[in-house]
Structure 1
Amino acid sequence: MKKTWSKSLALLMLAFMLVLGACSSNSGSGSGGSGGSGGSGDAGGDVELTFMWWGPEERHQATLAAIDIYEEQTGVFFETEQLSWDGYWQKLPTLAASKSMTDVLQMDAAYINDYVARGTLADLSDIDLSGIVDDAVIENLKINGKLYGIPLSQNSQGMAFNKAALEEYGIDTPQVGWSWDEYFEWGRQAKAKLPDGKFAIGDPTQNWDWYNWYQTGNGGAPLFSPDGLEFNLDKDLFVQWHQTHADLRAEGIIPPPEKTLSFLENDPTADPMASGTVMTRGATTGSVNALEQMMPGQVDVINIPVGEAGGGWAQSTIFLSISADSPNLEEAKKFVKWFITDQEAGQALGMTRGIPISPEIYEILEPSMTDADRLGKKIYDISVPTALPFFAIAAGYTEWVDTYKSTIEGVMFGQTTIEQAYEKMNELGERIAEQNAAKQ
């Protein structure tokens, strides 16, 4: 937690001032001033906001630096918590259920529909973003006509690869626009040049979103309709995706399941790429920055493999939201707008959440962009031409996503057949769609 001493110190000082005031005056009329601690804020030092986010260490430090600036400008204090991606999404459902979410929280497009459906996020439609965020972007981000998250960046999904290792082993560099078939074949050919224990491509099959990219890229409908009333699991594509990976696993083209499940992205020793085990992995505009920090000068980027309809996505996917139960709603709204517009904050945050959503902030940052930052811009530019829409988890499907992961892990270890996995996941998805329809 950041600056947990701030609140105690503020309360101690306040108590001291009250004692002095009581000793010097019996009337209590004072001068009529509102107090406060200067800066641009109206709240003064008696307001404390809580803020929780996920991300790598670089993002944590940059966010703390920005918060320092806000505290200095406004006198508003913060208590913060920074978590890994997995830890964040394990903790947030419990906080939401107990109505104890932080005032401000980082939110992802993959989950925002679900949290809106739970009634846990505040409507932020009254925050004026004109001249900061394009009107069309705002409209695309609205849910049932309301805005529940302030977009932080332009983001995209692509892949990173270890260009230094590929050169060392004499492996051809991936080519922009590669198809899924070309991706799999590249992995097979590269394996012949790699020593034991190293792999050109990884095994993402336990991640539902990778399969969804494969299904939609090959002309199928997204797994979930935005309203959660339709569920679409293409059996032929599902079997094809998982059988292809089963074959690759058996041939030693991708890591064995126990190795795959031990990976931890952005950990220097456990990250599939940074550890030197796998030559490629998924990366976004924001996350590739952290990868380059761990592997300076070794990283390059490529698009997600494409099908006939395209592949990957490129849009705003990471937001700041506010708890619907926040006792500091108006102060929290001031902060989230400040977070994307203040120039000092923009310089402190840099590209740690992707390409800044504010054109003014990006213009300030561009001349001093690092190689890691330029990789973020490169992955965005590469992704745009073939990008599909970002497909989020629809409301009610969190159980399906969790079940998908555990079920496919069973497939990876040979404990469940692909056919059994399909039947289980299709039945669950259709049941959830029916339950959603019954609520209408």
Structure 2
Amino acid sequence: MMRKGSKFWALLAFAALLTLAGCGGSGGNGGNGGNAGSGNASPSASPSGGSSEAPSSGDGKAPAASVKLGIMWWGADDRHEATLKALDLYSKQHPGTTFAPDYMAWDGYWQKLPALAASKTVPDILQMDAAYIQDYVAKGVLEDLSDLDLGGIVDPAVIDNLKIDGKLYGIPLSQNAQGIAFNKPALEAAGISLPQKNWTWDDYFAFAREARQKLPKGKYGIGDASSAWDWYNWYQTGNGGKPLMGDNGKTFTLDKDLFVKYQQTFADLRKEQAVPPPDKSLSFVENDPSADPMASGVVMTRGATTGSVAALYTLMPDQVDVVGIPTGPAGGGWAQSTIFLSVSANSQHKEEAKAFLKWFITDPDAGQTLKMTRGIPINPDIFKQLEPTMEPKDLIGKKIYDMSVEKALPFYSIAQGFTEWVDTYKSTMEGVMFGQTSIEDAYDKLNKLGQQIAAKNA
């Protein structure tokens, strides 16, 4: 079990003494003031985004300590709504604990978090993704959570796989998997062969060309994934290559033959008008009714995970089906825990934050409230509780996992120091899309930068 001993009670006593002496909370808003997510601004916040207050009880007794925990996450509206309800539920079950929530879409989250980390104003609790967790551990942003007892809740093998240098920095929330959503009725109406379980990359590109022949102009079978580093990494590893970033970022492998073949295939598809033109591709916004590639009716497929596909299904009820990422001889895609709750290393309320994390994945009422908004619940008891009442949008998420797990490869996250490389990959390949950079020059630039970062890490 987690430690709630003398340190915790000492903190509570200290907070009460401060109040009796007429002392206020610490200053700073921890980046939460005026957030667009909740308007729940803290009148007295700690540097971590939380606050400790001790209002007078009015009966002459020592007042109970009050803690406000800063918490931030990304996601779609259904996740936001469910999480806010869960926070209210926790506050009702644990009087004296309230929250300062901050929530946004994926892009906004990862644009905001680096600034908070640099200024040491990350809130007490933050949602973390497997793609970035190693980088934030290396920067000293996250607290070690190894003392939390998750026995009987999370498989020990899962915990071992998630440890970084022998320590746990995020509590897994779900079993997740990467797949591809597709507009089944539209494909059937056009007479296009539907994606099948364990389809190959050759099948995927053939599907794009068949769709080009059978769909009206301005409609496409697949999107242009040439500027997405993770898609190329799935291609390279699925075809037997090493992951781009290995050994915690100490090695870097960009297979030139596979890279050129993959990028040339997309270049050919652009010429054949089998993928959207570059300006259209870069204007898509997932889960925006008018700008989502699938919901807008422009593209018949797009990437989706177990945890994210429900938002798309909500936009397109009874139209969405799913399949796994294309496979190569070595497999394809991934299926594992990738989304976590972490605690800020600078939090002034670490024990309270840890208690909340464990509650988040164990409380039955929390499970009923959160449902599948972060994927298949990591706690098997919670999943069994939810399964009989799951809606179609939730069951489609489970199907992604079932379609992916057989051929799944490990999840390869962005290694320490490689955020710059990922950004450079995107901008460089966008230059290729617009004809401003050759594929050969792109390879040379990306390989050189990757080798430099790996050498620095080593």
Equivalent residue of 1:52, what SS?
strand
Q: Which residue identity lines up with residue 56 of structure 1 in the other structure?
A: A
Of 237, 241, 250, the match for 2:258: 237
Per the alignment, residue 4 of structure 1 pairs with 40
Cα pair distance change 1:337/1:324, threshold 3 Å: same
Preserved contact between residue 158 and residue 301 of structure 1 (Cα < 8 Å): yes
Per the alignment, residue 414 of structure 2 pairs with 393
Give the CA deviation at 1:163.
0.4
Give the CA deviation at 1:418.
0.3
Residue 91 (structure 2) pairs with residue 55 (structure 1): no
Give the CA deviation at 1:5.
6.3
In 1, the alpha carbon distance for the partners of 2:321 and 2:346 equals: 43
Q: Which residue identity lines up with residue 385 of structure 2 in the other structure?
A: I
Give the CA deviation at 1:64.
0.6
Equivalent residue of 1:51, what SS?
strand
Per the alignment, residue 85 of structure 1 pairs with 106
Give the CA deviation at 1:71.
1.0
Matches within 5 A, 1:175-324: 175-324=196-345
Give CA deviations for 1:20-75 in whole Å, capped at 9, x if unaligned: 56xxxxxxxx55x6x44xxxxxxx5x200000000011111011111110111112
In 1, the alpha carbon distance for the partners of 2:43 and 2:146 equals: 31
Give the CA deviation at 1:190.
1.6
Give the CA deviation at 1:14.
5.9
In 2, the alpha carbon distance for the partners of 1:65 and 1:205 equals: 39
Equivalent residue of 1:82, what SS?
strand
Q: Which residue identity lines up with residue 297 of structure 1 in the other structure?
A: D
Residue 384 (structure 2) pairs with residue 363 (structure 1): yes
Structure 1-normalised TM-score? 0.92
Q: Which residue identity lines up with residue 74 of structure 1 in the other structure?
A: H
Equivalent residue of 2:448, what SS?
helix
Of 127, 141, 144, the match for 1:120: 141
Per the alignment, residue 41 of structure 1 pairs with none
Q: Which residue identity lines up with residue 202 of structure 1 in the other structure?
A: G
Of 91, 95, 101, the match for 1:71: 91
Q: Which residue identity lines up with residue 259 of structure 2 in the other structure?
A: F
Give the CA deviation at 1:7.
5.5
Cα pair distance change 1:125/1:14, threshold 3 Å: closer
Residue 375 (structure 2) pairs with residue 339 (structure 1): no
Preserved contact between residue 41 and residue 100 of structure 2 (Cα < 8 Å): no
Give CA deviations for 1:134-178 in whole Å, capped at 9, x if unaligned: 000000000000000000000001100000111221212111111
Q: Which residue identity lines up with residue 70 of structure 1 in the other structure?
A: Y
Of 348, 351, 355, the match for 2:369: 348
Give the CA deviation at 1:226.
3.7
Give CA deviations for 1:210-258 in whole Å, capped at 9, x if unaligned: 0000000000000001421100000000000100000000100000000
Give CA deviations for 1:346-381 in whole Å, capped at 9, x if unaligned: 111000100000011001000001101110111101
Give the CA deviation at 1:105.
0.3
In 1, the alpha carbon distance for the partners of 2:77 and 2:194 equals: 29
Give CA deviations for 1:52-100 in whole Å, capped at 9, x if unaligned: 0000111110111111101111121111111111111111111101100
Preserved contact between residue 135 and residue 416 of structure 2 (Cα < 8 Å): yes
Give the CA deviation at 1:6.
7.3
Residue 193 (structure 2) pairs with residue 172 (structure 1): yes
Instruction: Provide structure 2 residue ranges, at least 5 long, that are not aligned to the other structure.
Output: 1-36, 45-50
Per the alignment, residue 39 of structure 1 pairs with none
Give the CA deviation at 1:2.
2.8
Matches within 5 A, 1:91-170: 91-170=112-191
Equivalent residue of 1:335, what SS?
helix
Q: Which residue identity lines up with residue 213 of structure 2 in the other structure?
A: A
Give the CA deviation at 1:308.
0.5
Structure 2-normalised TM-score? 0.88
Residue 454 (structure 2) pairs with residue 418 (structure 1): no
In 2, the alpha carbon distance for the partners of 1:311 and 1:59 equals: 28
Q: Which residue identity lines up with residue 258 of structure 1 in the other structure?
A: D
Instruction: Provide structure 1 residue ranges, at least 5 long, that are not aligned to the other structure.
Output: 22-29, 37-43
Preserved contact between residue 160 and residue 282 of structure 1 (Cα < 8 Å): yes
- Larger CA deviation: 165-174 vs 423-432: 165-174
Preserved contact between residue 3 and residue 78 of structure 1 (Cα < 8 Å): no
Per the alignment, residue 25 of structure 1 pairs with none
Preserved contact between residue 214 and residue 307 of structure 1 (Cα < 8 Å): yes
Equivalent residue of 2:109, what SS?
helix
Give the CA deviation at 1:186.
1.2
Preserved contact between residue 6 and residue 77 of structure 1 (Cα < 8 Å): no
Equivalent residue of 1:376, what SS?
helix
In 2, the alpha carbon distance for the partners of 1:296 and 1:5 equals: 36
- Larger CA deviation: 187-196 vs 237-246: 187-196
Preserved contact between residue 223 and residue 299 of structure 2 (Cα < 8 Å): yes
How many percent identity over aligned positions?
Answer: 64
Equivalent residue of 1:177, what SS?
coil
Give the CA deviation at 1:196.
0.9
Q: Which residue identity lines up with residue 349 of structure 2 in the other structure?
A: N
Per the alignment, residue 408 of structure 1 pairs with 429
In 1, the alpha carbon distance for the partners of 2:342 and 2:82 equals: 19
Q: Which residue identity lines up with residue 348 of structure 1 in the other structure?
A: T
Per the alignment, residue 24 of structure 1 pairs with none
Equivalent residue of 1:192, what SS?
helix
Question: How many residue pairs align between the two structures?
Answer: 414
Equivalent residue of 1:121, what SS?
coil
Preserved contact between residue 228 and residue 395 of structure 1 (Cα < 8 Å): yes
Preserved contact between residue 55 and residue 82 of structure 1 (Cα < 8 Å): yes
In 1, the alpha carbon distance for the partners of 2:278 and 2:41 equals: 45
Equivalent residue of 1:247, what SS?
helix
Give the CA deviation at 1:388.
0.2
